[in-house]
Amino acid sequence: MKIALAQLNYRIGDIEVNTAKILAEIEKAKEQNVDIVIFSELAVCGYPPKDLLDYPSFIERCETALQLICEATENVAVLVGGPAWSKLTKGKKLYNSAYFYADQKLVRRIDKTLLPTYDIFDEYRYFQPNEVFECVEYKGEKIAITICEDLWNLDDEKLYKVTPMDELIAQKPSVMINLSGSPYSYNHVEKRRTRMQLNAKTYGLPLFYVNQVGGNTDILFDGGSMFINRMGEIVEECEFYKEDFKVIKWDSDHIYEDNHQDYYDYDIGLIHDALVMGVRDYFGKVGFSKAVLGSSGGIDSAVVHAIAAEALGADNVKAITMPSRYSSTGSVVDAHKLAKNLGSPFSTIPIKEVFDSFNRTLAPEFEGTQPNVTEENLQARSRGIILMAYSNKFGNMVLNTSNKSESAVGYSTLYGDMCGGLSVIGDLYKEQVYELARFINRYGEVIPYEIINKEPSAELRPDQKDSDSLPPYPVLDKILFHYIEEKKGWKEIVAMDEEGLTEDIVRKIVRMVDRNEYKRFQASPTLRISHKAFGTGRRMPIVARYNH
């Protein structure tokens, strides 16, 4: 039997375009005499569709698309994901389903059993869990079909009372197929592989696994669709971050050899590629083609500029440096050099007159007070106004350049450097930003080495350094990782007895994270590359009092 893995990049809600892509792959499968072509979870409507699922007209359009796909299955079988009405008198209105079509008929609809409601997932909000377990018989083979989370309820990490494959294995299937919508995070690639390999070994069955690729707002999908033999070895694997179509000639009596790509659990190259894809898809799917950013001569804006230039083309990324009286000459020079290295358009717009005008306007109200962080923030907000004005005039989307370390502790200004339509590195800690800069320079200088080597500074007051307000970034990032990703309280972090993690520093940082939740609530969408990004995956109350 020839089985094809069709790994595609879908646009959420663009049902007609998604369907056209699916139909094109079906024709490709026919040309190669494929028996079954497999698409990913909710492929027809794109994943995750969120509250679009609440609109009956949306489901009706999906049904129309599925009928077109069914009609295209002459001489080929198709397994594709889409929503389905549950028709229950009690319970949710929809199922998250996999449709098995052959000979222009629906052979079987398989509904998803395990509906995740953690991190970025909220599927039980929309879907009814499946309670019927039946294999599909096709061309003499009995196939166990599952959808994404259905294969994750194994070993000591069981979150659900039911394990679908435990129910299906009693019917003696010869192969497993899983339609997936598994997003990328830097600790998830190997975990996903390992979990799928464990399924193959546990049940002694080969596994065909199909994931999607592409960026859907903040969530990035890396692909990595694969065929695993019954020994748990990855025989074939689709490209990461690219659409792919791979045909496997499968014989139930044959054992295939391991032939998968060599990536590590944490790979800065994968992070880089994820961000480039995320920027490209965000712009392309929203309908923008050009970006603008504030280029300060610092590491964060430099990395964002380089990623955007690769994603959109350097000509489509406008860099504006906006020096104040406190900006060093070196910062302006470095920002200009970066734009020249990349080939991007560049402008210098000093903010001295804008800042002075704000001070004059506010002088009657501020009389008798001393300059403080207010005046520092006025500089950041002056820059934000200029960037947004450029965006309004020329249609370039503003890219936010804040990193996760800054966002976590509130080292950023609302309506100033927090402005933007997309946060590119908002899920990277400062040390990761430096690592990414070195990766970008792997073949030679793109980001000027002066930028990488200089001490970080917001340059909002004389001789200012980030270290004036924050512990060194290696210490800060360690505290933040323990608190945010690992969800450890300050006492647990201090008890780890790691260098620099004193009680005073840890408690100070934890307090800063907690009290700046209101800022992050107003931030632009952040490309997610970790398993605990700010945004939909970390939901904390703004009005609360708690002490971890």
Residue 260's pLDDT is what? 58
Average pLDDT over residues 30-44: 98
Residue 331's pLDDT is what? 87
Mean pLDDT is lowest, of 85-94, 298-307, 463-472, 527-536, for: 463-472
Position 51 pLDDT exceeds 90? yes
pLDDT band at residue 330, thresholds of 50, 70 and 90? confident
Residues 279 and 383 in one domain: yes
Residues 219 and 291 in one domain: no
Classified as helix, coil or strand, 509 is helix
Cβ(85)–Cβ(109) under 8 Å? Answer: no
Instruction: Give the single-character DSSP code of 485.
Output: I
Residues 367 and 388 in one domain: yes
Classified as helix, coil or strand, 395 is coil
- Residue 41 is among the residues annotated as catalytic for this protein: yes
Share of the chain above pLDDT 70, in %: 95
Residues 248 and 310 in one domain: no
Position 258 pLDDT exceeds 60? no
Residue 254's pLDDT is what? 54
Catalytic residue of the set 45, 70, 135, 148: 148
Residues 256 and 274 in one domain: no
- Residue 112 is among the residues annotated as catalytic for this protein: yes
pLDDT band at residue 262, thresholds of 50, 70 and 90? low
The answer to whether residue 538 sits within a structural domain is no
pLDDT band at residue 326, thresholds of 50, 70 and 90? confident
Average pLDDT over residues 316-335: 91
Average pLDDT over residues 392-404: 97
| CATH number of domain containing 361 | 3.40.50.620
From residue 218, give the alpha-carbon distance in Å to each of 120, 239, 433, 533, 534.
10, 21, 18, 10, 10
DSSP-derived secondary structure for 407-466 = HHHT-S-TTTTT-SSEESSTTS-HHHHHHHHHHHTTTS-SS-HHHHHSPP---SSTT--G
Position 339 pLDDT exceeds 90? yes
pLDDT band at residue 408, thresholds of 50, 70 and 90? very high
The answer to whether residue 65 sits within a structural domain is yes
Cβ(164)–Cβ(171) under 8 Å? Answer: no
**27: containing domain:** 2-260
- Residue 131 is among the residues annotated as catalytic for this protein: no
Residues 256 and 275 in one domain: no
Average pLDDT over residues 296-314: 97
Catalytic residue of the set 21, 25, 41, 519: 41
Residues 243 and 279 in one domain: no
Q: Supply the mean pLDDT for the chain.
A: 93
The answer to whether residue 533 sits within a structural domain is no
Average pLDDT over residues 30-40: 97
If one compares 321 and 539, the residue with the highest pLDDT of the two is 321
Position 193 pLDDT exceeds 60? yes
Which of 260, 286, 304 delimits the end of a domain?
260
Angle between helices 329-342 and 299-312 (to 10 degrees): 20
Residue 263's pLDDT is what? 56
The answer to whether residue 309 sits within a structural domain is yes
List Cβ neighbours of 178 (8 Å cut-off, separation of 6 or more): 145, 146, 147, 148, 150, 151, 196, 207, 208, 209, 210
Which of 230, 260, 290 delimits the end of a domain?
260
Using CA atoms, how far apart are residues 260 and 263, in angstroms rounded to an integer? 9
Position 414 pLDDT exceeds 70? yes
Tokens of 310: 């690769």
Residues 213 and 278 in one domain: no
Residues 274 and 232 in one domain: no
Average pLDDT over residues 453-478: 80
Tokens of 436: 């990414």
Using CA atoms, how far apart are residues 527 and 534, in angstroms rounded to an integer? 9
Residue 497's pLDDT is what? 85
Average pLDDT over residues 386-392: 97
Share of the chain above pLDDT 90, in %: 86
Average pLDDT over residues 212-216: 97
Position 534 pLDDT exceeds 60? yes
Residues 198 and 318 in one domain: no
Average pLDDT over residues 386-394: 97
Mean pLDDT is lowest, of 107-111, 258-262, 341-345, 377-381, for: 258-262
Average pLDDT over residues 144-156: 92
The answer to whether residue 487 sits within a structural domain is no
Residue 423's pLDDT is what? 97
Residues 16 and 127 in one domain: yes
Position 461 pLDDT exceeds 70? no
Catalytic residue of the set 21, 25, 70, 112: 112
Average pLDDT over residues 431-460: 91
Average pLDDT over residues 184-209: 94
| Total domains present in the chain | 2
Position 256 pLDDT exceeds 60? no
The answer to whether residue 532 sits within a structural domain is no
pLDDT band at residue 539, thresholds of 50, 70 and 90? confident
Position 217 pLDDT exceeds 70? yes
| CATH number of domain containing 241 | 3.60.110.10
